[in-house]
Amino acid sequence: MKPGDIISHPEMCMCEGRMLQHGMNFRVAPDHSVILMSRRPGAPYNDRVADNGSTLIYEGHDIPRLRGIGDPKRFDQPRNTPTGRLTPNGKFESAAVAFKAGKAPELVRVYEKIKDGIWTYNGVFQLVDAWQEQSGGRNVFKFRLVLTNQGIG
């Protein structure tokens, strides 16, 4: 598979060896993570592309809709679960911090939703930065990913 290829959701899941239902999938294999993004109108997160497609700014994910949580967009995006474990936001943030401390970058395969059930493969990116910023009166995570010249192994 090469960047720009159009695939179905089942093909994407077969390629990754698992059912992909969440946008942030940390270490789906020992050598990479997976991010599912969308820039379609009405997309739940503010993902964007910069530098002619070579840089992605990916927004972290909200708290799950649990009992008593009517609108997750009213709450800060979490780093940890209520039991203290890292959420996907926390796992990706930790990988970005490790990279900035001199560790090898986390490699991330990125797929973008075109329409229901149809995706495009955007390539392999390196996770190089993470931060929090204010958006709509709450703190959200942002992740910077930079395109590599690697294909799918």
pLDDT of 67:
66
Rounded Cα gap, residues 47 and 40, in angstroms = 10
Convert the pLDDT of each residue in 30-58 to its tens digit.
Answer: 999 999 999 998 888 999 999 988 999 99
Calpha distance 98→116 (Å, rounded): 35
The percent of residues in the chain predicted with pLDDT above 90, rounded, is 80
Which pLDDT belongs to residue 49? 92
The whole-number pLDDT of residue 151 equals: 56
Mean pLDDT of the chain: 93
**Mean pLDDT calculated for residue range 89-113:** 97
Give the pLDDT confidence of 57-85 residue by residue, as tens digits.
999 999 987 767 788 899 999 999 989 99
Model pTM greater than 0.75?
A: yes
pLDDT band with cut points at 50, 70 and 90 for residue 152: very low
Q: C-alpha angle with apex 96: 142 to 114, nearest 5 degrees?
A: 50
